[in-house]
């Protein structure tokens, strides 16, 4: 890779940077997991009914065959998998290992106990996977292959109970990929034969399966059974020893991976280190942005600080967060004098006390100072076609959307229904009102909307694969939104918010209701950036208050977010700000403002229904579609 | 309502169930039949809530048959005016004739009047139902300066689908609380299988079971950009298509994947679910 970039004369690509990843992946054929992450996430959610943390592993082509790995918590996908079927098999299999007890503590403890019991005499060391595997010495690869065959069979047959075509896909893909180094074939074929047997049993057909392996197909089989049976096979089966790394890797069926390696690695870095130390590595890559890093650092410090507090102190957790923030001299206790005039206190709901804390959150409204016209121009030209299409769509829908006023006393057209009614009512001896015209004009002040953007640090995150950062999509989305709004003709405002503890919530008005859309406003949108945290409740209260004096039948507050409400002083108690936000939403509804949340956080299903209510939020899991989707969602909502 | 009368012939909208009619098939989910019958006994208006295609309309057809009442259905839309419901004067030669709207017809005939997707109608046209939904049980015909006391068997039923399309169009709380509400959702798996088999008797139970399993998995993707989940109706359509000779995978694609989403990735995930069950 370095060599090729030297030839073309560009700067050498540095591993771990987005540019490097993009170039590396573009050069490879196959299933690009990062682009297809959404598909895998959807499938895992469908089959397992829950979400898994899908991350990129540190795999690169020189490390050999790509395997999906797990640390017992998340799934680590290599950037490229050889094919779609193998990638789906691997994701389902690895999630299956998490769901079906490959990391079950009780079972692994029993393995260690049994193994330790077989060791001679005193001086026994506490057993972990690494010490356990040392017992097999140089022949470890042979045992490991057998163990993984057994454990793989156990897991895959459990996956089959969820995914009706799992084993048949595994078998078909296994047959299709059979050409491989001949030394690995004995292992590969016996694993494949076991899958064929399990598949026949799952279909209720006559099966040809090693009776020892049948035990693994039972739903109550554990990893300890796999270990025991692998040992039996190890003692009784004649399979050639494996020395070569490539042969070892080739012996795995599509989707399966050396599991014991991962298990061992968690405790020691011994001979099995051929598997990448993916976790710290990939973390570094994710959090590459300096600002984000330092901010997270700061946040976790605050958390750590408050974690020492005794529970049961109620609202004091918040107060202690303040102390800690104030003591380092960074966070002023009260906002600076110039800002005080524009600031306003709002109450905050404390679920632990079951009441509002009066004058708790200080929301400081200020003009947004960061402008970037160049970025706005760039985005306008980048999304020019999308914008054109959008405007066309709005124009096409106008006659129905902006329905002409009917039954007017004067107007451009005759309202035929009204005219007929008028004549017939006259005939019937009544004296109807001559309101028989229709007039095409915008229905005045029908809908008023505020777009409230979350401008916390997290929007600076890099987007996997597609390149760029979330903030670019947010800027583009807001730009398309304002352009669309001009076309639609509704009253609208655009604002952003961020917070640092309850006494410093910033609310930036980017465009006010009565302000025209100028290049200056677009420049401000181009300058949208992320900093600090998300105190959503206070921002919702302030946005609701800003609707005062706006004449309109319907008021909509669109909140654009990428994560849950959080702040430095929430003491690690997520529920606190969740509950407060929920109350803020309720208050808004009571004041005739309908909040609706659009989020790009794929885990938002876990908390948004409680906060906004079912049907009052939308999870956009395809971030790239945000710019185009945002105006569309609005048009749908106002219908 | 399945009737013995000829098809392709105009019929009046107010039709009592005839001798020889077959009860429209309905598989109860819970105690909704008992609730409806109790509400009917006291003539309290009923609101049916639930997602598209889960059986609200069928339920009402079934109840109308059970109670031996005619059913008058009005599908509401945004241009529906109160004249469309109550009635209007028409010109006939040099004379004008008053023509009753469907609501007035139902009020007079003691029918069950079903306002489907009521939130779609403009709020000014829905206020005419207010006086019908409380103890007054009266319909005012403003244009004629008259009012009608509803026939003693008259019942008003509305349906609505609480979804995010209706954030701004929710019914007013003052309207809502005039109704007895019955919640509908997609039924349990075994019931849904029965429904599919019953709606298309040509389908083998094993295939119906697979269709239902596919549909239930597909519904899990609702929060990921599907505006409407795969309904029981789409499952029945898929069964129809299979029965008409299409292979199951294509039948599912044309009836429960492509109509639901334009998002290629979502469609791919849905097709994975289909293929998992049918290949």
Q: What integer is the mean pLDDT of A352-379?
A: 81
Q: Determine, yes or no, domain membership for A344.
A: no
Q: What integer is the mean pLDDT of A56-77?
A: 83
Q: What integer is the mean pLDDT of B194-213?
A: 91
Q: Determine, yes or no, domain membership for A569.
A: yes
**Do residues B166 and B195 share a domain?**
no
Q: Determine, yes or no, domain membership for A326.
A: no
- CATH number, domain at A481? 3.40.50.410
Which one, of B220, B233, B224, lies nearest residue B259 by Cα?
B233
Q: Which residues of A touch B163 (CB under 8 A)?
A: 615
A42 near B CB under 8 A: yes
Token representation of residue A186: 């004995």
Strands A593-599 and A617-619: parallel
Q: Determine, yes or no, domain membership for B18.
A: no
A637 with B162: Cβ contact below 8 A: no
Q: What integer is the mean pLDDT of B38-62?
A: 91
Token representation of residue A38: 């959404």
Q: Which domain holds residue B132?
A: 32-183
Q: What integer is the mean pLDDT of A414-421?
A: 84
pTM value is: 0.64
Residue A550: predicted pLDDT: 79
**Do residues B52 and B152 share a domain?**
yes
**Do residues A424 and A469 share a domain?**
no
Q: What is the pLDDT of residues A187-209, one digit of tens each?
A: 999 899 999 999 999 888 888 88
B167 with A596: Cβ contact below 8 A: yes
Which one, of B180, B213, B134, B175, lies nearest residue B31 by Cα?
B180
Neighbours of A228 (CB within 10 A): 17
Q: Which of B77, B84, B210, B224 to mutate to test the interface with A (most CBs of A within 10 A)?
A: B224
Residue A4: predicted pLDDT: 40
Q: Which residues of B touch A420 (CB under 8 A)?
A: 90-91
Q: What integer is the mean pLDDT of A275-288?
A: 37
Q: Determine, yes or no, domain membership for B91.
A: yes
**Do residues A454 and A422 share a domain?**
no
Distance separating the N- and C-terminal Cα atoms of chain A: 53
**Do residues A118 and A249 share a domain?**
yes
**How many CA atoms are closer than 13 Å to the CA of B161, on its beta-carbon side?**
19
Distance of CA A390 to the CA centre of its chain: 27
A46 near B CB under 8 A: yes
Cβ pairs A/B, distance under 8 A: 99
**Do residues B179 and B195 share a domain?**
no
- CATH number, domain at B145? 3.40.50.300
CA distance A133 to A130: 5
Q: Which domain holds residue A6?
A: 1-27
* pLDDT of A400 higher than 50: no
Which one, of B108, B13, B271, B265, lies nearest residue A622 by Cα?
B265
**Do residues B167 and B206 share a domain?**
no
B166 near A CB under 8 A: yes
Which residues, at least 6 apart from A497, have a Cβ–Cβ distance to it below 8 Å?
Answer: A452, A453, A454, A455, A505, A506, A507, A508, A534, A535, A536, A538, A539, A542
Residue A355: predicted pLDDT: 81
Q: Å from B80 to nearest chain A CA? A: 12
Higher pLDDT, A348 or A61: A348
Q: Which of A168, A422, A424 to mutate to test the interface with B (most CBs of B within 10 A)?
A: A424
A349 near B CB under 8 A: no
A556 near B CB under 8 A: yes
Range in B85-94, B127-136, B137-146, B265-274 the model is least confident about = B85-94
**Do residues A4 and A92 share a domain?**
no
Dihedral of CA B193/B194/B200/B202: which sign?
A: positive
Looking at the DSSP bridge assignments, the partners of residue A452 are A495, A559
**Do residues A479 and A570 share a domain?**
yes
Q: Determine, yes or no, domain membership for A300.
A: no
DSSP letters for A318-357: HHHHHHHHHHTTSS-SS--HHHHTTEEEEEEEETTTTEEE
Q: Which of A240-249, A441-450, B117-126 has the highest mean pLDDT?
A: A240-249
Place of tokens 């004549």: A423
CA distance A6 to A8: 6
CA distance A257 to A412: 73
pLDDT band for position A283 (50/70/90)? very low
Neighbours of A401 (CB within 10 A): 15
* pLDDT of A502 higher than 70: yes
Residue B166: predicted pLDDT: 53
**Do residues B130 and B151 share a domain?**
yes
Q: Determine, yes or no, domain membership for B134.
A: yes
Please identify, among A268, A285, A302, the residue that sits at the C-terminal boundary of a domain: A285
A554 near B CB under 8 A: yes
Higher pLDDT, B77 or B149: B149
Q: What is the pLDDT of residues A252-273, one digit of tens each?
A: 999 898 875 444 333 333 333 3
**Do residues B78 and B64 share a domain?**
yes
Q: Determine, yes or no, domain membership for B21.
A: no
Which residues, at least 6 apart from A292, have a Cβ–Cβ distance to it below 8 Å?
Answer: A457, A458, A460, A461
**Do residues A151 and A281 share a domain?**
yes
A175 near B CB under 8 A: no
CA distance A158 to A175: 21
**Do residues A532 and A432 share a domain?**
no
A47 near B CB under 8 A: yes
Q: CB-CB: which of B94, B225, B268 is closest to A39?
A: B268
A618 with B263: Cβ contact below 8 A: no
Q: Determine, yes or no, domain membership for A362.
A: no
**Do residues A10 and A94 share a domain?**
no
CB A352 within 8 A of CB A571: no
CB A207 within 8 A of CB A197: yes
Q: Determine, yes or no, domain membership for B19.
A: no
**Do residues A237 and A377 share a domain?**
no
**Do residues A232 and A248 share a domain?**
yes
Which residues, at least 6 apart from B157, have a Cβ–Cβ distance to it below 8 Å?
Answer: B45, B46, B47, B48, B60, B112, B113, B114, B115
Which value does ipTM take for this structure? Answer: 0.76
Going from the C-alpha of B138 to that of each of A384, B128, B149, B156, the distances in angstroms are 57, 10, 5, 12
**Do residues B121 and B200 share a domain?**
no
Interface of B with A in 60-99 (CB under 8 A): 78-79, 81, 83, 88-91, 94-96, 98
**Do residues A449 and A424 share a domain?**
no
**How many CA atoms are closer than 13 Å to the CA of B135, on its beta-carbon side?**
0
Which residues, at least 6 apart from B179, have a Cβ–Cβ distance to it below 8 Å?
Answer: B44, B45, B46, B47, B133, B158
Please identify, among B183, B217, B237, the residue that sits at the C-terminal boundary of a domain: B183
Q: Determine, yes or no, domain membership for B20.
A: no
Q: Determine, yes or no, domain membership for A243.
A: yes
A403 with B79: Cβ contact below 8 A: yes
**Do residues B97 and B225 share a domain?**
no
Q: What is the pLDDT of residues A442-452, one digit of tens each?
A: 554 477 888 88
Which one, of B86, B166, B87, B85, lies nearest residue B119 by Cα?
B166
A427 with B89: Cβ contact below 8 A: yes
B272 with A618: Cβ contact below 8 A: no
Q: In what order do the strands lie in the sheet with B46-49?
A: B71-75, B112-116, B155-160, B46-49, B180-183
Token representation of residue A81: 């998998």
A166 near B CB under 8 A: yes
Q: What integer is the mean pLDDT of B220-237?
A: 82
Higher pLDDT, A132 or A41: A41
CB A39 within 8 A of CB B268: yes
**Do residues B194 and B247 share a domain?**
yes
Interface of A with B in 511-550 (CB under 8 A): none
Distance of CA A96 to the CA centre of its chain: 20
**Do residues B78 and B164 share a domain?**
yes
**Do residues B114 and B231 share a domain?**
no
Q: Determine, yes or no, domain membership for B8.
A: no
* pLDDT of A211 higher than 80: yes
State how many domains chain B has: 2
Q: What is the pLDDT of residues A131-152, one digit of tens each?
A: 777 778 788 888 888 888 999 9
**Do residues B151 and B196 share a domain?**
no
State how many domains chain A has: 4
Residue B77: predicted pLDDT: 82
Please identify, among B149, B183, B217, the residue that sits at the C-terminal boundary of a domain: B183
pLDDT band for position A396 (50/70/90)? low
Q: What integer is the mean pLDDT of A403-414?
A: 74
Average pLDDT in chain B:
86
Q: Which of B164, B249, B268 to mutate to test the interface with A (most CBs of A within 10 A)?
A: B164
Which one, of A212, A197, A103, A211, lies nearest residue A157 by Cα?
A197
Please identify, among B183, B208, B234, the residue that sits at the C-terminal boundary of a domain: B183
CA angle A6, A11, A16 (to 5 degrees): 105
Q: CB-CB: which of A42, A403, A605 is closest to B266?
A: A42
**Do residues A268 and A413 share a domain?**
no
Q: Determine, yes or no, domain membership for B251.
A: yes
* pLDDT of A484 higher than 90: no
**How many CA atoms are closer than 13 Å to the CA of A603, on its beta-carbon side?**
7
Three-state DSSP at A413 gives strand
B226 near A CB under 8 A: no
């Amino acid at each position: 890779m370095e060599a090729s970039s030297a030839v073309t004369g560009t700067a050498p690509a540095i591993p771990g940077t987005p540019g490097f990843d993009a170039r590396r992946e573009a050069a490879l054929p196959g299933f690009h997991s990062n682009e297809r992450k959404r598909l895998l996430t959807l499938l895992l959610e469908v089959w397992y009914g829950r979400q898994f943390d899908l991350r990129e592993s540190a795999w690169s082509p020189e490390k050999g065959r790509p395997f999906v790995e797990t640390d017992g918590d998340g799934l680590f996908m290599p950037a490229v998998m050889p094919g779609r079927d193998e990638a789906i098999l691997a994701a389902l299999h690895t999630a299956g290992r998490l769901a079906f007890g490959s990391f079950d503590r009780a079972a692994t403890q029993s393995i260690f106990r049994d193994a330790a019991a077989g060791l001679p005499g005193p001086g026994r060391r506490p057993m972990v996977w690494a010490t356990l595997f040392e017992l097999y010495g140089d022949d470890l690869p042979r045992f490991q292959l057998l163990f993984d065959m057994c454990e793989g069979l156990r897991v895959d047959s459990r996956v089959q109970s969820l995914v009706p075509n799992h084993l048949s896909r595994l078998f078909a893909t296994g047959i299709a990929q059979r050409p491989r180094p001949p030394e690995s074939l004995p292992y590969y074929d016996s694993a494949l034969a076991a899958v064929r047997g399990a598949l026949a049993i799952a279909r209720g057909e006559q099966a040809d399966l090693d009776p020892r392996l049948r035990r693994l197909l039972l739903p109550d089989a554990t990893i300890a059974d796999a270990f025991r049976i692998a040992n039996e096979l190890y003692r009784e089966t004649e399979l050639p020893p494996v020395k070569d790394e490539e042969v070892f890797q080739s012996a795995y069926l599509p989707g399966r991976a050396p599991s014991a390696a991962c298990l061992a690695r968690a405790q020691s870095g011994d001979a099995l280190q051929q598997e990448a130390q993916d976790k710290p590595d990939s973390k570094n890559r994710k959090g590459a942005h300096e600002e984000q890093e330092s901010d997270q650092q700061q946040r976790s410090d605050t958390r750590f600080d408050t974690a020492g507090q005794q529970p049961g102190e109620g609202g004091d957790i918040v107060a202690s967060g303040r102390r800690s923030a104030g003591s380092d001299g960074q966070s002023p206790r009260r906002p600076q004098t110039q800002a005080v005039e524009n600031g306003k206190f709002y109450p905050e709901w404390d679920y632990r006390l079951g009441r509002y804390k009066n004058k708790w959150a200080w929301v400081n409204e200020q003009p947004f100072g960061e402008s970037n016209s160049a970025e706005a121009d760039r985005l306008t030209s980048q999304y020019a076609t999308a914008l054109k299409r959008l405007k066309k769509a709005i124009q096409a829908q106008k006659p129905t959307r902006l329905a002409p006023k009917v039954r007017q006393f004067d107007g451009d057209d005759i309202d035929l229904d009204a005219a007929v009614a008028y004549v017939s009512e006259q005939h019937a001896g009544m004296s109807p009102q001559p309101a028989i015209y229709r007039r095409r004009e915008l229905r005045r002040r029908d809908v008023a909307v505020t777009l409230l953007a979350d401008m916390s640090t997290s929007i600076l995150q890099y987007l996997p694969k597609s390149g760029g950062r979330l903030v670019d999509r947010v800027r583009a989305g807001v730009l398309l939104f304002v352009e669309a709004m001009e076309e639609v003709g509704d009253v609208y405002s655009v604002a952003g918010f961020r917070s640092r503890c309850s006494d410093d919530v910033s609310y930036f008005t980017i465009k006010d209701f009565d302000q025209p859309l100028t290049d200056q406003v677009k420049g401000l949108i181009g300058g949208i950036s992320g900093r600090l945290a998300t105190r959503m409740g206070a921002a919702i209260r302030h946005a609701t208050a800003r609707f005062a004096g706006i004449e309109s039948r319907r008021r909509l507050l669109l909140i654009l977010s990428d994560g849950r409400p959080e702040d430095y002083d929430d003491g690690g108690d997520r529920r606190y700000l969740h509950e407060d936000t929920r109350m803020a939403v309720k208050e808004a509804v009571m004041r005739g403002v309908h909040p609706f949340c659009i989020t790009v956080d794929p885990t938002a299903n876990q908390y948004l229904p409680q906060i906004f209510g079912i049907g009052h939020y939308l999870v956009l899991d395809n971030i790239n579609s945000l710019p185009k989707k945002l105006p569309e969602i609005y048009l749908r909502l106002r219908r | 309502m399945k009737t013995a009368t000829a098809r392709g012939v105009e019929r009046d909208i107010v039709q009592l169930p005839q001798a020889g009619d077959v009860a429209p098939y309905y598989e109860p989910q819970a105690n909704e039949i008992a609730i409806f019958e109790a509400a009917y006994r006291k003539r309290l208006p009923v609101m049916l809530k639930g997602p598209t295609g889960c059986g609200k309309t069928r339920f009402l057809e079934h109840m109308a048959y059970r109670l031996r009442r005619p059913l008058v259905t009005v599908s509401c839309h945004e241009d529906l005016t109160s004249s469309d419901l109550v009635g209007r004067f028409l010109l006939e030669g040099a004379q004008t004739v008053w023509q009753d709207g469907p609501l007035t017809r139902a009020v007079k005939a003691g029918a069950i009047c079903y306002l489907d997707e009521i939130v779609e109608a403009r709020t000014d046209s829905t206020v005419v139902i207010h006086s019908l939904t409380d103890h007054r049980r009266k319909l005012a015909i403003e244009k004629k300066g008259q009012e009608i006391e509803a026939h003693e068997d008259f019942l008003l039923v509305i349906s609505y689908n609480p979804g995010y399309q209706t954030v701004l169009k929710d019914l007013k709380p003052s309207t809502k609380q005039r109704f007895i509400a019955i919640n509908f959702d997609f039924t349990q798996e075994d019931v849904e299988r029965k429904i599919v088999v019953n709606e298309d008797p040509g389908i083998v139970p094993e295939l119906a079971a697979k269709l239902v399993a596919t549909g239930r998995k597909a519904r899990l993707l609702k929060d990921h950009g599907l505006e409407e989940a795969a309904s029981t109706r789409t499952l029945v359509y898929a069964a129809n298509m299979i029965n008409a000779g299409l292979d199951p995978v294509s039948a599912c694609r044309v009836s429960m994947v492509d109509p639901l989403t334009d998002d290629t990735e979502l469609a791919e995930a849905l097709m994975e679910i289909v293929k998992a069950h049918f290949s």
